[in-house]
Amino acid sequence: MKIKYTLLKKDEKTDARRGILHTNHGDFDTPIFMPVGTQATVKTLSPEELKDIGSSVILANTYHLWLRPGELVVSKAGGLHPFMNYDGPILTDSGGFQVFSLAKNKKKDIVEEGVHFKSHLDGKPLLLTPELSIEIQNKLDSDIAMSFDECPPYPVTHEYMEKSVERTLRWAKRGKDVHKNENQSLFGIVQGGEFEDLRKHSAIETVKMNFDGYSIGGTSVGESKETMYKMIDDSVKYLPTDKPRYLMGVGDPIDILEGVQRGIDMFDCVLPTRIARHGNAFTKHGKINIRNEKFKEDFTPLDEACDCYACKHYTKAYIRHLIVCEESFGQRLMSIHNLRFLIKLTEDIRKSIEQDQFLEFKDAFIHNYKK
């Protein structure tokens, strides 16, 4: 079956929504934060650890799994779930973002048919098309597939963005036309950059195609926070209320709050796991860099208010030692903590929406977070 979205409650004072998404691999509550597991693993964590921190849905990436180990290998394993021993919902990104992230500062070749890549592994020329992306995602057997889009850099001219938006719309249609998997849902992606008219056009045209959910893409690519929030506003208002909305690639705690306030249900981001490996931890008083000398003899947890495994059993001094020594256990503890922090944040957000206290919660959180 396809996913099904149940809107439980809308916040009285904002566009924040509380809902449930039903999938073949279980339900999850929204708003939700989804850890990113690009190569069929959330870096350094086991599926059991993901469960322990309350994670209920994760991402994987079409482009990366296409190159390695190849979608046929995953398919032979029975799909992503058995392949990676994870029985919860999985969402696959289409590879569209890699048009942006891999082609940045390098020659890229975006044509009507698709995108010519050079493999980042061996330089081999590759062509990823909307049809191929959907086909690969079908074989990966994720619960939710994403349309193949272009994520243009920032800034870009209105003229370029208009062409890009039109092409992304055509790609969305092509992808939808070949998507036949009844057990997999497909999301459309709204683009349009900072341009209000293009966001509107992209959203309206995408919604006409009747996807199972809608994503907002093209944010957090270098624009200011204000611009990003406006991009969300300019997109969300044209999306139906009975389908989930997913803000792609956003995971800064404050951005999650701003997104929820604007009616976003789903978030994903590499930030918590990446900065964890690099020594940064979210705390209710803001981000800390655990490598800092001032934590050398700090025998308190990363965050006193946190209920994660790392905070329950280990001190800053110990985790600092591990991170400084580049021990993988340190990276794991930091990743567990940061993911739990964002997942707990969305849990608290959901409670606040249920009680019509979202704005109060948001203000209190930001007040603490910014010291």
Cite the active site residues.
Answer: 93, 268
Q: Which helix (H) or strand (E) holds 352?
A: helix 328-354
- Please name the amino acid found at residue 136: I
Q: Which stretch binds RNA (CB under 7 A): 9-17, 25-33, 213-221, 355-363?
A: 213-221
Instruction: Tell me: does residue 326 bind RNA (CB under 7 A).
Output: yes
Residue identified by tokens 């975006």 is: 110
Residue 94 or 185: which CB sits closer to RNA? 94
Instruction: Tell me: does residue 255 bind RNA (CB under 7 A).
Output: yes
Residue 161: which of 147, 150, 148 has the closest Cα?
Answer: 150
Q: Are 22 and 254 in contact (CB under 8 A)?
A: no
Q: Which of residues 33-72 bind RNA (CB under 7 A)?
A: 36-38, 42-43, 59, 61, 64
Q: Are 117 and 125 in contact (CB under 8 A)?
A: yes
Instruction: Tell me: does residue 352 bind RNA (CB under 7 A).
Output: no
Q: Which stretch binds RNA (CB under 7 A): 17-25, 216-224, 231-239, 307-315?
A: 216-224
Hey, what are 1's tokens? 């079956």
- CB of 195: closest distance to RNA in angstroms? 15
Rounded CA separation 47/234 (Å): 37
Direct distance between the N- and C-terminal alpha carbons of the chain, in angstroms, rounded to an integer = 46
Binding mask 281-320 for RNA (x = CB under 7 A): ------x-x-xxxx-x------------------------
- CB of 324: closest distance to RNA in angstroms? 5
Q: Which of residues 131-190 bind RNA (CB under 7 A)?
A: 146, 149, 151, 189
Residue 235 or 280: which CB sits closer to RNA? 280
Which of 106, 107, 367, 370 forms a contact with RNA (CB under 7 A)?
106
Q: Which helix (H) or strand (E) holds 188?
A: strand 185-190
Residue 105 or 180: which CB sits closer to RNA? 105
Q: ∠ at Cα 71 (216, 140), nearest 5°?
A: 50
Cite the DSSP H helix spans in 119-248. Answer: 130-140, 158-178, 196-208, 225-236
Rounded CA separation 22/25 (Å): 8
Instruction: Tell me: does residue 274 bind RNA (CB under 7 A).
Output: yes
Residue 47 or 249: which CB sits closer to RNA? 249
Residue 56: which of 186, 183, 143, 163 has the closest Cα?
Answer: 143
Long-range contact pairs involving 80-86 (C-beta distance under 8 Å, separation at least 24): 80/40, 80/140, 80/141, 80/142, 81/25, 81/141, 83/40, 84/37, 84/40, 84/41, 84/47, 84/60, 85/47, 86/47, 86/50, 86/58
- CB of 175: closest distance to RNA in angstroms? 11
Rounded CA separation 36/27 (Å): 18
Which of 280, 283, 346, 352 forms a contact with RNA (CB under 7 A)?
280
Instruction: Tell me: does residue 218 bind RNA (CB under 7 A).
Output: yes
Count of residues of this chain found to bind RNA when the rule CB under 7 A is applied? 57
Residue 85 or 328: which CB sits closer to RNA? 328
Instruction: Tell me: does residue 271 bind RNA (CB under 7 A).
Output: yes
**Under the rule (CB under 7 A), what is the footprint of RNA?**
36-38, 42-43, 59, 61, 64, 93-94, 96-98, 100-102, 104, 106, 120, 146, 149, 151, 189, 215, 217-220, 225, 248-252, 255, 268-271, 273-275, 277-280, 287, 289, 291-294, 296, 324, 326, 328, 331
